[in-house]
Structure formats: C-alpha cells, structure tokens
A and B are shown apart, each in its own frame.
Chain A
Amino acid sequence: MFKFILNKIVLIIPTFFGITLAAFLFVRLLPGDPITILTGERGVSPERRAEMVAQLGLDQPLLVQYFNYLLNILQGDFGQSLSTHRPVVEEFFERLPATLELSFFAILIAIILGVPAGIIAAVKRGRWPDHLLMGVALTGYSMPIFWWGLLLIMLFSTQLGWTPVSGRLDIINYYFDPITGFMVIDAWLSGQEGAVKSALRHLILPSVVLSTIPMAVIARQTRSAMLEVLGEDYIRTAYAKGLPTWRVIGIHALRNALITVVTVIGLQIGTLVAGAVLTETIFAWPGVGKWMIDAISHRDYPAVQGGLLFIAMLVMLVNLMVDLMYGWINPRVRDGK
C-alpha cells in the first residue's frame, strides 16, 4: 500500500511542474506588455515601471523568471489582485469555503440520488424503470445548467416564492462573524434561531443545479458497473447461499460496482468546479467561481492566473485522494499488485 501511494505521488510531480509552467506562460503569452497586464489599463509611472521590471525579474531570461515564479509559489506568494491589491492567496481562500460548501451539498445530492437510480436501472434492465431513469439521466447530462438554474429560480423563487433568489443567507435578519466560512456550520454555531434554516434555504437551489450533471453521470456509470457485476459468477454464488436479494444486490454486487463508481465520482470534481463557475454566477454565490468570472471580466490577470493554478492543484489533490481511495476499496490493489 505504501508503495502504491508513493507511486501515485511521484506520478503527479511532472504534472505539477506542467501546470505551474502553464500558469506562468499564461501571463507571458498575453498580447502586450506584462507590466501593463499586471498593473491594469491605467498604467504606471516610468520610475515605478522600472522598479517593477527589476522586482519581477522581467529583465532576466525566461527560464530564470519561471524559476523565480516557482520559488514564489512554493513560498505561498501567488501575486496581488489588481482590483483589490490584496494577495491572491487571501482572496482565494476567503471564498473557497463557500464553493466547498456548495460542492459538498451538490455531490451529496448527486450520490444520494444517482447511485440508487443506477442500481434500480441495472436491476430492472430493459423495463420501464430503466428507460425512465436513464431518460432522466441523459436529459440531466445534456442540461445547460445555467439555463436550468434560471428555470428553477423562475419557478421556485419568482413564481412560488419558496426559495431566495441569491446569496448565502438572509442578511437582513441574521448576522454573525464567519468562523469556519461554511455558512450552515457558522449559522449553527451562532445559535440564532432560524439561521440554519435560512442558510439551507439559500443552499438548496444552487446545490440542486450543481448536482445535475454529476448525478446524471453517476447514475449512468453506476448502472453500467452494476450490469457488469451482476453477470459475475460470485453473484450466482451469493444466490446459491440463500442470501436475500437485497443483500446480493446491495452488498455483494454494489461493493464491487463501487470500485468503478468511486473513481467516477472522483472524476466529477473537475466538472463540479466548472459547474460552480456557472452556478455561482447565476445565484450570486460568493465563491471561487464567481470570483474567477469577475476577475476575468475585470482583466485581473494575477487573480485569474493564481485562481487557475489553485484550482488545478485542488483538482490534482482530489484526484490523488480518489486514487488512494480506489486502492483502499479494491483489495487487489491494496496488496500492491
């Protein structure tokens, strides 16, 4: 197992250098002069410019510049945002909990609905529950989620008035200082009556929207993994032992199907981040995705650069965790085979 983990970690090192290089070149490749890019459209005085060139090492060879950039990154310096003049790291981690909270609930919904849907479809293969569930899943998979979000707002917020249109909390009635950054937990910690409910009411539509595509993918993949497993000899053995059907399907088959499903869920993290950009924009959710969009439209390149790099590293980290989890739930990998 230890060797397995080590192998995985060694494998991501070249990718790490790759993405830092990509992020570095990102700003260098922009048409125009890096100083203008880094300081914004208004420009700077010639003295300040010379100072910056020296400070950023722009008079040095590209390779040295990259090396310096890498050094800065490893020390946690990802540059400064043009619009707020604060370190990109601070800006990013301030907003990360909001995105994590949203993503957590989204993936939770996706798993809770997607996995059972896949199981039922596989068990009822070729009959109406299968057709219905897979029809819904394919529709979900084809959904332009920005439109889906607008539709739900139109129905539940505008027409029915059940849920708020945007934000994370009813800020007229509640206020408390962020402790964890996760609104549901903070609301609970604040002890204010109704705060948790308000936070959840704000959370429900965005997480449903964000869960749509992962849910569809999970349902489809669970179905095909289950179909494969249900044809295996050990399922016949389980029935021959006299196990009840729910146990054969829910334990013997599912346990094996999960090996594939967990990987699929892990791979959805990238989709989730991309979806978060759209979802957060629609629901004015103050997370990383909305921040990135704002940064792009304000041409705040250091923020875009730092944000992309952070997110790529985050995705890489999650993928590593998924790989390790794969090893953990698959006995054959666990033994280092």
Chain B
Amino acid sequence: MKLFADEAWRTTWLYFKESKGGLWGLSFLGIVLFCVVFADLIAPFDPSLQNRSALLLPPIWTEAGHWPYILGTDAVGRDLLSRLIYGARYSMFIGFVVVSLAVIIGTLLGLLAGYYSGWLDTLIMRLMDVILAFPSLLLALGLVAVLGPGLLNAMYAIALVMLPHFVRLTRANVLSEKNRDYVIASRIVGASNRRLMFNTILPNCMAPLIVQATLSFSNAILDAAALGFLGMGAQPPLPEWGAMLAEAREFISRAWWVVTFPGLAILLTVLSINLVGDALRDALDPRMRRS
C-alpha cells in the first residue's frame, strides 16, 4: 500500500525546506538519532559504570572538572554524557512505540467510527469522550498506579491517553472524504468495504495524521519523562532522562550539572520535534502554500 506518491513527498520537502526552524529541528534530530544508533561507539563510558573516586564531578570547563568526564559525573560516579547518550535511546524508543500504538489503534477506531457511523460510531466516540474528560497526565498516572510503575506500563498508559486525538482526527477526515466523488466511484465499481476504507479513503486522510503523529511524538517523550520524574515511569538506574532528573533532584543545591543537562536534553529533543512538526504542518497544508 502506497500512502503517498513520490511527487507528493517531493513537493512537501520543497515547502518544508522553506522553514529554517524545521531544518534546525531536523538537524538536531539527526544528532539524536546518531546517538541512538551509535551509542555503544561514541559514549565514552558504560552508562551504569560507577567510579567511586569521581563522585559528583563538575563538567570539564569548570575548575574542579577533569578529563574524561566531559559533562561531569553523578552522585555514584557515572559519566553524565554517556548516560545522556544512552538516554536518547529510551526517549526515541518511547516516542516511537507510543505513537505507533496510538496511531495504529486510533486510526483503526477512527476509520470504523467514521465509515460505519451508527451505534459503533457512538460507542467509540463516547468512549473517547470519557478518556478526554480526564487530564491526560493524571489519567496516565492513574493507569500506571493500576498497572504498576515501570517504563512499559507508562508507555501503554500514555498511548491510551493519546488515542482520542487520533480517533477524532481520523473520523473527521473520513466523514469529509467518504462522500467525495472518487470514493463513490470506486464503490460503484464494486470495491469492498475494506478496500474502500484502507486503500481509497485512508491515504487521503494521511496529511493531518502525520502532523498529529509528529506533535504526539514530542508529547509522548515529555509525558514519559514526567512519569519517570515522578517515579512512575522508567526506574533507576535506567539512564532515562526523566528518571535521571528524579535522581538528581536532591543535589539541586550542590551539583547544578546533574539537574541541568538531562532536562536540557529533553527540552532540545522535544523542541526540535515540534519545530519539525510545525514546518511539516505548514508544508502539508495547501492553504499555507499560496503565500
């Protein structure tokens, strides 16, 4: 199944290129992805290796800092830089899994609701209303409380909390597409319901879904980090950025670097994804193209 013609990708890229912010975001994401893939090669240390003779060592450019601990060490003498590099793996993994889950299930439910209408539509949409009635982070927290703290459970919870956005978006698009001439035409020539849903209608609803998926990716990273920070997500000693911040909290008055860098990593990653998302939205929105 081909969702986009090559031509469509090329035009999208042409418009995407116009956005400086989008290019910056993409470049930083490139660095993060490089860390994800080559963490074993570029990280100077094993992320869980403790050095009892180098506890809470400040970064190298301060007076007390020294080689090879570039960004310093944490309270048990682990190299901060190496932990941040490995941490990129968790953040990207969380974002990817959460968004994939939410997109696949959400799109499916949205397609069903929009295509079949009737009681199925009502049931699905009321269910989504219920999920939306709870503030997302709080509901995720509640779910983690039920499922038990841990990275995987946190990811399921966040995916569930994100579900309604994809369902609503897909349904709205399906509703506006399903009575278009091209859909009716392929119905007349005898296309099956499944074919109509997945091969005819779905590809024409992709643009807003892609944008939503990008923005959800950054939300997933933020929420997972928040859960990690609250002790409900990834558990120490995993070098997940949020969990690292939770550990660093007590050193707030003594060691600024253990607090500053993990948060900065989260901020920059989330920011660059959002920059890409914004640029992508502008590039995919035909209304923006005219000017």
Contact = CB atoms under 8 A, between A and B. Distances in A.
Residue among A21, A30, A147, A275 with most chain B CB within 10 A: A147
A54 interface: no
B214 interface: no
Q: Dominant SS at the B interface?
A: helix
Nearest to B268: A142
A312 B139 CA distance: 9
A189 interface: no
Contacts of A21: 130
A58 B271 CA distance: 49
A304 B256 CA distance: 34
Given A18-B126, A151-B259, A277 B137 contact: yes
B262 interface: yes
Contacts of B271: 138-139, 142
A277 B256 contact: no
A138 B278 contact: yes
Contacts of B222: 142, 144
A304 B142 contact: yes
A83 interface: no
B5 interface: no
B263 A297 contact: no
B249 A150 contact: yes
Interface stretch (A45-53, A109-117, A202-210, A266-274): A266-274
Interface string B217-235: 0100010011001111000
B267 interface: yes
Given A26-B146, A153-B252, A154-B259, A143 B138 contact: no
B146 A22 contact: no
B231 to A, nearest CB: 7
Contacts of B274: 138, 141-142
Contact of A312 (B134, B229, B232): B134
Contacts of A15: 126, 129-130, 133
B137 A14 contact: no
B162 to A, nearest CB: 13
A315 B134 contact: yes
Given A158-B253, A274-B136, A296-B232, A143 B267 contact: yes
Contacts of B144: 296
A147 B130 contact: no
Interface string B225-266: 110011110000000001001000100110010011011001
A19 interface: yes
A5 interface: no
Given A19-B134, A142-B271, A274-B137, A147 B127 contact: no
Contacts of A22: 130, 134
Interface string A153-165: 1100010000000
A299 B137 CA distance: 18
B133 A19 contact: yes
B85 interface: no
Interface in A119-174: 135, 138-139, 141-144, 146-148, 150-151, 153-154, 158
Nearest to A155: B256
Contacts of B134: 19, 22, 308, 311-312, 315
Contacts of A296: 141-142, 144-145, 232
Contacts of A26: 142, 146
Contact of B135 (A135, A153, A154, A271): A271
A297 B230 CA distance: 9
Contacts of A297: 231
Contacts of A150: 245, 249, 252, 259, 263
B138 A14 contact: no
A299 B141 CA distance: 12
Contact of A18 (B129, B136, B142): B129
Contact of A308 (B127, B138, B230, B256): B138
Interface string A268-300: 001101110110010000000000110011010
Interface of A: 14-15, 18-19, 21-22, 26, 29-30, 135, 138-139, 141-144, 146-148, 150-151, 153-154, 158, 270-271, 273-275, 277-278, 281, 292-293, 296-297, 299, 301, 304, 308, 311-312, 315-316
Interface of B: 21, 126-127, 129-130, 133-139, 141-142, 144-146, 218, 222, 225-226, 229-232, 242, 245, 249, 252-253, 256, 259-260, 262-263, 266-267, 270-271, 273-275, 278
21 contacts: A14-B129, A18-B133, A21-B130, A29-B146, A138-B271, A139-B271, A142-B222, A144-B226, A147-B229, A147-B245, A147-B262, A151-B259, A153-B252, A158-B252, A274-B135, A274-B136, A275-B137, A281-B230, A296-B142, A312-B135, A315-B135
Given A143-B267, A147-B259, A297-B231, 15 more contacts: A138-B278, A144-B267, A144-B270, A147-B263, A147-B266, A150-B245, A154-B256, A270-B136, A275-B137, A277-B138, A278-B230, A292-B138, A311-B134, A311-B138, A315-B135
